[in-house]
Amino acid sequence: MADIRLEGVGHSYDGGETWALKPMTWTWRSARAYALLGPSGCGKTTLLNIVSGLITPTTGRIWFDDREVTGVPTAGRNIAQVFQFPVLYEEMTVYDNLAFPLRNRKVPKREIDLRVREVSRLLGLDQVLRRRSRRLDPGRQQIVSLGRGLVRSQVAAVLLDEPLTVVDPALKWTLRSKLKEIHRDTGHTLIYVTHDQTEALTFADEVVVLNDGAIVQAGEPAELFLSPAHEFVGHFIGSPGMNVLPAEIVGDVVRVGREDVGAAPGGLPDGPVRIGVRPEFVRITGTRTSPGVAAKVTGIDRMGAYDLVHARVGEHDLIAKTEADSAYLPDAVEFLHFPADRTFLFRDEVRCGSLAPLNGRGQG
Ligand SMILES: Nc1ncnc2c1ncn2[C@@H]1O[C@H](COP(=O)(O)OP(=O)(O)OP(=O)(O)O)[C@@H](O)[C@H]1O
């Protein structure tokens, strides 16, 4: 295990015209479980392949602890990698497939047997250990691939690129918790690539959000949800994502249209900002009980456990998540209030502050 440090690492596939990965400095800390989360094409696989050595970055240097590995090929990096689809020796048994990475490194036979049986037990493969891999369905084959990635205890990191894509949805939950268990057990550094927020949030100690070739925020799942540092994180994490509403700082207040919705934090110059507030924290009332804006209800999704109330403020649509079977009706005019501690201000998509309470006028 090692800290994996990227120093100004960036990659362009077209000689510098565009950057699939913009130059970044970032450290993957030893023994942590990371999810690398982002939409299709944002550069996740490129970043992972740079760590594994499949791609040499156009610029920057890579260090495993104090050893520079920038020019070192995959074989010299002591990395285990699991891809989206099974990579197995189909004629070998499941046992031999799991044992292969260890035999290859001349691990003693007894230790191989212990490790193979441990991983097999955790991944539920005991019943098929003697079966040839090609006789398994693709989902089960992928679990064997996962086992091959996890079987070595001494690796710098285990890299997993959307490893559960071909696995049955019901099994995914089980496998994610197994992965957590294996991680606790081995203390591997795991980097798990996914575009699925549920997968990322349930698996990782730390989620690294990548957008358009750049890391926009990294943190624990709750931190990304409660305190998005970038509008993209607000949209991409949460379901539905964060509401965004154009507003303006005028002196010491934040205004939406003509309404004061809160106080401006100190130090921000006057001018346009965007308010970001999650549907979970927007409060709706029939009368104005604290600083807020009038909104017209445009629709209600009754989701069973909760309602999603859609409302329009001027030209902008917002969603509030309320209790189930709420009494809101389409076309009614309600008031939306934005709690000061859960409402953020953004400029150029980056968070620049939080809404502050308007003294004496209540808030949220
Ligand atoms: N071999 C390649 N040659 C040229 N461009 C590439 C190559 N591989 C990736 N790209 C481009 O680089 C950008 C990042 O791709 P990458 O595969 O790293 O993203 P990703 O986040 O892993 O996407 P996905 O989730 O769809 O796999 C994309 O615009 C992609 O089209």
Ligand 1: which residue has its CA nearest to atom 31?
41
How far is the centre of ligand 1, averaged over its atoms, from the C-alpha of 62 (Å)? Answer: 20
- Average pLDDT score, the chain: 92
The ligand 1 atom at the shortest distance from the C-alpha of residue 46 is: 18
**Are 237 and 330 a contacting pair, CB within 8 Å?**
no
Written as six digits, the tokens of 143 are: 């679990």
**Which fold, 4-233?**
Rossmann fold (3.40.50)
pLDDT band per the 50, 70, 90 thresholds, residue 179: confident
| ∠ CA 114-116-118, rounded to 5° | 65
Q: Find the mean pLDDT for residues 95-120.
A: 94
Domain boundaries along the sequence of the chain: 4-233, 243-354
> Residue 193 CA: which ligand 1 atom is closest?
22
Those residues whose C-beta lies under 8 Å from the C-beta of residue 349, and which sit 6 or more positions away, are 230, 231, 232
ipTM exceeding the 0.85 mark: yes
Residue 213 falls in which region: left (phi positive, over 0), alpha (psi -120 to 50) or beta:
left
The pTM assigned to this predicted structure is 0.90
The mean pLDDT value for 111-125 works out to 93
Span 127-176, pLDDT tens digits: 999 999 999 998 889 999 999 998 988 888 999 999 888 888 888 888 88
| Assigned CATH topology for domain 243-354 | OB fold (Dihydrolipoamide Acetyltransferase, E2P) (2.40.50)
Q: Is residue 62 classed as helix, strand or coil in its secondary structure?
A: strand
pLDDT one-digit tens code per residue, 215-260: 999 999 999 999 999 999 999 999 999 999 999 999 999 999 999 9
Q: Distance, CA 188 to ligand 1 centroid (Å)?
A: 27
Rounded to the nearest angstrom, the distance between the alpha carbon of 153 and the centre of ligand 1 is 31
| Residue 61 token pair | 């240097």
Q: Return the pLDDT at 360.
A: 56
Quick: pLDDT tens for 256-294: 999 999 999 988 999 999 999 999 999 998 887 778 899
Ligand 1 centre from 152 Cα, in Å? 29
Q: Does residue 322 line the site of ligand 1, with CB under 6 A?
A: no
